[in-house]
């Protein structure tokens, strides 16, 4: 009887380890799974042109372009993880009303843009560069701003030193993929969650051919020389206020920090509405129209 129980325990541990490894692998696969969807018709209240342009490898980036008033500047809008260009429509509306030209894109592996995996800003950085090239070719001489939310902000930072923009707004951007992973595991699994972060991050190389050291926006933000506005929520658990303040400290001047009180990891424009609109238009007005 004792030998049978001992044998059972000896079988249990390797089986549990195997099941744990399979679970981590499946979780990693789920996180990077493409989020491709048909985005449907553009909003009827905007004079939208549906466009497709190539990235550096010749792969198509799908998006919407909204013409603005000549000489009034342009804005590139970059969505977060598992979203697409539709997440930025509300921002496009008030920017268009203010006279800006606007470009909304689907990152690779999102919306209608092809791609094999979400990479949390790493491959998406090439889409930022391609989008800026498109804007500068289409609107020569216009000053260009960027609004990047979450992964869109990370992709903007990771695109340095080739971020050919005159002003950048970064919303709730993670400092390192390790911290982002630990934060999200803590939300879903409680105090034990962060212990699983190394295992989950170990799948990055196998899945994507990259490692955690290549996903550290905090190491790159100091090399963005253009004016920056960081917008963060003080109740955000996906990117904590301490992490956001560390990002701000690492950023080079000129820079501004706006802490939205009570906000979690949400659409900050929808959360504060008119205040967001005023801040963004004031920031872009200062640097795109009156530099």
For residue 36, being part of any structural domain is answered with no
CATH number, residue 86: 3.40.50.1820
Q: Is the pLDDT of residue 16 over 50?
A: no
Residues 29-87 have pLDDT tens digits of 677 999 999 999 999 999 999 999 999 889 999 999 999 999 999 999 999 999 999 99
Residue 25 lies in a domain: no
Model pLDDT for residues 95-119, shown as the tens digit of each residue: 999 999 999 999 999 999 999 999 9
- Radius of gyration over every alpha carbon of the chain, rounded to an integer in angstroms: 21
Of 1 and 67, the structure prediction assigns the larger pLDDT to 67
pLDDT digits (tens, 9 = 90+) for 220-240: 999 999 999 999 999 999 999
Model pLDDT, residue 281: 98
pLDDT at 207 over 90: no
**Is residue 134 situated within a structural domain?**
yes
Q: With 70 as the cut, is the pLDDT of residue 22 above it? A: no
Q: Which domain holds residue 230?
A: 47-176+215-289
Distance CA 251, CA 118 (A): 26
Count of CB atoms within 10 A of residue 2's CB? 6
3-state secondary structure of 36: strand
Residue 185 lies in a domain: no
| Cβ-based neighbours of 256, under 8 Å, separated by 6 or more | 227, 228, 229, 230, 283
> What per-residue confidence (pLDDT) applies to 9?
47
Q: Per-residue pLDDT averaged across 149-163, rounded?
A: 96
190 — phi, psi (to 5°)?
A: 80, -160
Residue 51 within a domain = yes
Q: How many structural domains are present in the chain?
A: 1
Q: Is 115 left (phi over 0), alpha (psi -120 to 50) or beta?
A: left
Write down the pLDDT at residue 165: 98
280-291: pLDDT as tens digits: 999 999 999 987
On whether residue 82 sits in a domain, the answer given is yes
pTM of the predicted model over 0.75: yes
Q: What are the pLDDT digits (tens) for 158-204?
A: 999 989 999 999 999 999 999 999 999 999 888 888 888 888 898 88
Decide if 232 is inside a domain.
Answer: yes
Domain assignment of residue 241, yes or no: yes
- In the chain, which ranges are E strands? 35-36, 48-54, 60-66, 74-78, 101-105, 110-111, 144-149, 167-171, 228-233, 255-260
- Cβ within 8 Å of residue 43, ≥6 positions away: 89, 93
pLDDT exceeds 70 at position 262: yes
Residue 129: strand, helix, or coil: helix
Instruction: Using pLDDT thresholds of 50, 70 and 90, give the confidence band for residue 20.
Output: very low
């Amino acid at each position: 009887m004792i030998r049978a129980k001992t044998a059972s325990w000896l079988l249990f541990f390797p089986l549990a380890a195997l099941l744990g490894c399979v679970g981590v692998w499946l979780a990693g696969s789920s996180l990077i799974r493409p989020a491709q969807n048909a985005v449907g018709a553009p909003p009827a209240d905007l004079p939208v042109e549906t466009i497709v342009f190539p990235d550096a490898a010749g792969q198509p980036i799908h998006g919407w372009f909204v013409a603005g008033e000549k000489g009034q500047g342009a804005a590139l809008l970059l969505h977060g993880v598992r979203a697409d260009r539709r997440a930025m429509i509300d921002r496009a509306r008030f920017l268009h009303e203010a006279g800006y030209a606007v470009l909304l894109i689907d990152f690779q592996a999102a919306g209608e843009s092809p791609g094999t995996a979400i990479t949390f800003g790493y491959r998406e950085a090439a889409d930022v560069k391609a989008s800026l090239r498109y804007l500068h070719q289409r609107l020569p001489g216009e000053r260009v701003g960027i609004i990047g939310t979450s992964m869109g902000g990370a992709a903007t930072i990771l695109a340095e030193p080739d971020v050919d923009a005159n002003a950048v707004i970064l919303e709730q951007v993670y400092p390192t993929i390790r911290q982002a992973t630990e934060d999200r595991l803590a939300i879903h699994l409680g105090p034990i969650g962060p212990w699983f972060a190394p295992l989950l991050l170990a799948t990055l190389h196998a899945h994507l051919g990259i490692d955690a050291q290549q996903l550290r926006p905090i190491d790159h933000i100091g090399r963005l020389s253009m004016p920056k506005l960081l917008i963060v929520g003080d109740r955000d658990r996906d990117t904590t206020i301490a992490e956001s303040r560390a990002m701000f400290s690492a950023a080079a001047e000129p820079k501004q920090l706006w802490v939205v009180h009570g906000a979690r990891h949400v659409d900050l424009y929808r959360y504060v509405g008119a205040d967001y609109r005023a801040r963004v238009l004031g920031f872009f007005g200062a640097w795109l129209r009156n530099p």
